[in-house]
A and B are shown apart, each in its own frame.
Chain A
């Protein structure tokens, strides 16, 4: 079945009333009629309305959404699955929430960056208009601040890796949270820093917040060794890192070798799917029900291989989060495109969006 939004936090009274009336509307539900008046009233899935879209630097935009029910809350750093309808088709993506959970107006926001050749991000950055109804999935993620801030913080971010940290900063700023924070952020160009102005303002207003901005186009790429000069006491700090895979890999091995790996928290984005330097040899995916063999080059998810061959594949977030795309593999070797681990499967259910074929794989649909 197709991916669906989260169960809205409707009041128990409302739910009980709707359930009591359900038999008058079977096989539909009272909700199906209420949503004729306002699609946000549905208690089947949480929906929201786009309130504003604010362009950000670096090809990003902040989409502010008013949820149909009071926002369930999130911990800064978590992400939400967002469902949008583009050209008639529901698409789902997971985005870090960039809003502070403490917003008085009840809005939440995500800040996608336009990915060329992408489907959802260009839509959200360039095409979505206020009033558009979107779907909201569960809030997930363990990239969150500690319960007690008894240690200094170090944020290491690059590019759109700033997004979960932005929610943290916005949450910390009004209180005493920013009294000992170093933020090392990398961006390609000086005038393309998403949230650049807000970061600079924080740097100015808060004694304890120090922004170290690295423009990689001019200063070269940031490496973990630079921390000894940028933030000499990095070992003592609780560190939160988010950015491209290579950066996170480098940080992880640096912390393992020279620091305390337990103090490094990281959030991986865009589980590498595809690309020229993908490992493995690829293979073919056999769709038994259609008697069809689909080519699956290295780095290509089974999902994409199926779609390219014209198979109607179930899909959701496409990043291994939502489990909508799961299908049983009858037999064959598959590669986890995020970790590159190869495993042999026999009648096992796998997420087709993050696994590629290694040789011949037979899929049931």
Chain B
């Protein structure tokens, strides 16, 4: 395993210090340049999310039509993806706090997912982004339920991990919410019951709101809309003379009224169900997407993990390099990066978690240049490749044994630069 040990063992203390200065300089240079352009960007993404969400909900008012159902579900899924990835995750990182905007601020933001903002900021911003890929410290390394690194001790329970990974994919937001509670600490009795209770209250509050909105509220709105429209459209044409004649004879057309009511009820119930399943599907799509992007962040073959010994007395330079080699990028189009919350630039994100995500693409070439000069790896690849290696690892490490995968070695500034 010596070949995969320490990708930056060749760097001296001085070189690490110099590298830290270079990364700091990139950070400061972007920080000084933030302005109106960046504000327009995030305001634009937020507006886009809300417009797509409105379009989705509006289309789903007619969710009994197959076309409206499909388009509405698609809109809703994309809105939820934008809201979680490019907006929620990044706002909660404090990437937009510099604007001093009370409505787009890490201290006030809440997102459309099961995790509470406060629990997420602790487990993600603090624990994961500080102890990235340190075995036993970074709880996102396998999320305490998976064997994702051959250094982790095998246990028979891991045999089921390919299966429960599928469940996790579908219900990712709930998995993340429970993960934020730090189940391992609770089991070990390290977490005070008061905090556990606080977390449970937080999650159940969010769960109630989510379920009420997606599985009761909007289906109900659709059903009411469908019933109302049905009554307007399907009103039986009766001439005024006929109505007066009927009334004069005291004839009540009870049967017809009853039939109409039954039809309206059926229409309403059908629409309720259709919207219910549309919301469910949109949530599943969002969860699958989020799971895929996030698992590609640290679990592809290219990334390194660290023992706690290796990071003892770590310098700022050492921290930067650990972030650099512990994360992996995904290549893709600007649209792909928007929908993945710019986590296709996971490397840049881990170097500068509080930098507005829209700037990662702009600094990527500077980061690669540093990698080239210092002989460090720059992990990246297309989604299919990254995701493929992630799922291969999940399958392989369900069984005992397994070796650390070969690493690509230092970045030489070749294919990416030529492609660009």
Contact = CB atoms under 8 A, between A and B. Distances in A.
Interface in B278-333: none
Contact of B212 (A3, A4, A23): A23
B38 A88 contact: yes
A106 to B, nearest CB: 25
A85 interface: yes
Given A26-B213, A312-B97, A85 B103 contact: no
Nearest to B34: A88
B105 interface: yes
Nearest to A86: B36
Interface string A31-50: 01100100000001100000
B102 A45 contact: yes
A177 B39 CA distance: 48
Interface in A289-342: 310, 312, 314-315
Interface string B69-109: 00000000000000000000000001001111111010110
B221 interface: yes
B266 to A, nearest CB: 24
B100 A23 contact: no
B263 interface: no
Interface string A83-104: 0010111110000000000000
Contacts of B102: 1-4, 45, 90
Nearest to B105: A2
Given A1-B107, A44-B103, A312-B98, A88 B36 contact: yes
A24 B218 contact: yes
A72 B51 CA distance: 32
A105 B54 CA distance: 35
Nearest to A90: B100
Interface string B203-237: 00010011011000110010000000000000000
Contact of B105 (A1, A25, A27, A33): A1
A32 B97 CA distance: 19
Contact of B35 (A1, A24, A87, A310): A87
Q: How extensive is the interface on chain A, given as a class?
A: 20 to 34
A26 B214 CA distance: 10
A87 B107 CA distance: 22
B184 interface: no
Given A2-B105, A27-B112, A90 B213 contact: no
B54 A33 contact: yes
B101 A24 contact: no
Given A27-B209, A312-B98, A36 B28 contact: no
Contact of B39 (A26, A44, A88): A88
Given A26-B213, A27-B209, A88-B37, A32 B50 contact: yes
Given A24-B217, A27-B209, A89 B98 contact: yes
A27 B110 contact: yes
Contacts of A1: 102, 105, 107-108
A91 B98 CA distance: 11
Given A36-B51, A88-B36, A27 B100 contact: no
A27 B101 contact: no
A220 to B, nearest CB: 43
Nearest to A25: B213
B91 to A, nearest CB: 12
Given A1-B107, A315-B100, A88 B50 contact: no
B46 to A, nearest CB: 9
Which residue among A1, A3, A27, A36 has the maximum number of chain B CB atoms within 10 Å of its CB?
A27
Contacts of B54: 33, 36
Given A2-B105, A310-B28, A88 B35 contact: yes
Contacts of B209: 23, 26-27
B154 interface: no
A23 B110 CA distance: 14
A323 B54 CA distance: 37
A27 B50 CA distance: 12
A33 B212 CA distance: 19
A316 to B, nearest CB: 8
A3 B100 CA distance: 7
A2 B212 CA distance: 30
B373 interface: no
Which residue among A1, A44, A315 has the maximum number of chain B CB atoms within 10 Å of its CB?
A1
Contacts of B108: 1-2
A26 B211 CA distance: 11
Contacts of B103: 44
B111 interface: yes
B213 A24 contact: yes
B47 interface: yes
Contacts of B100: 2-3, 89-91, 314-315
A171 B227 CA distance: 57
A32 B218 CA distance: 17
A89 B209 CA distance: 32
Contacts of A44: 103
Interface string B42-82: 00000100110010000000000000000000000000000
Given A3-B102, A312-B94, A314-B100, 19 more contacts: A1-B107, A2-B101, A2-B108, A23-B209, A23-B212, A23-B213, A26-B112, A26-B209, A33-B50, A36-B47, A36-B50, A36-B51, A85-B99, A87-B36, A88-B36, A88-B38, A88-B40, A89-B98, A89-B100
20 contacts: A1-B102, A1-B105, A3-B102, A23-B209, A23-B212, A24-B221, A26-B112, A27-B112, A33-B50, A36-B47, A36-B54, A87-B36, A88-B36, A88-B38, A88-B99, A89-B35, A89-B39, A89-B99, A310-B28, A314-B100
Interface of A: 1-4, 23-28, 32-33, 36, 44-45, 85, 87-91, 310, 312, 314-315
